[in-house]
Amino acid sequence: MHKTADAGFCRMLGYTTAMESYTARLEKSGRILIPSAIRRQLGLSEGSQVIVKVEKSGAIRVTSRSQALAKAREEIRKYIPAGRDLVAELIQDRRVEAQREDKKATRP
């Protein structure tokens, strides 16, 4: 396993810390070993599920499910006003709908 980092290039791309890159081998079975430093950084352990995406550039991006979920939550929060409780709204909507259904069921 070979590890490299180019701090100047990383700063140019807007990253504040150097991105590390590792060289790994593709096994006959098609498996690639994710280096332990990356597994620790992503919080991965045996059996962890990851999302593997092929970028338009041909690069492969591996993301932990927890990181992908955090990113999705971050994106969604941009569209929800502060203090708005979507869960409470959903529960209230379901209660109103249930009452409506109960009224329909009791009509002769």
pTM of this structure? 0.51
Of all residues in the chain, what percent are helix, strand and coil, respectively (each to 5)? 45, 20, 40
pLDDT by position in tens, the chain (length 108):
455 544 444 444 444 455 678 888 889 999 988 888 888 888 889 998 899 999 999 988 888 888 889 899 999 989 998 899 999 999 999 999 999 998 888 876
| pLDDT at residue 54 in the model | 93
Q: Which H or E element spans position 2? A: strand 2-5
Q: Which two tokens stand for residue 44?
A: 């991965």
| pLDDT at residue 57 in the model | 93
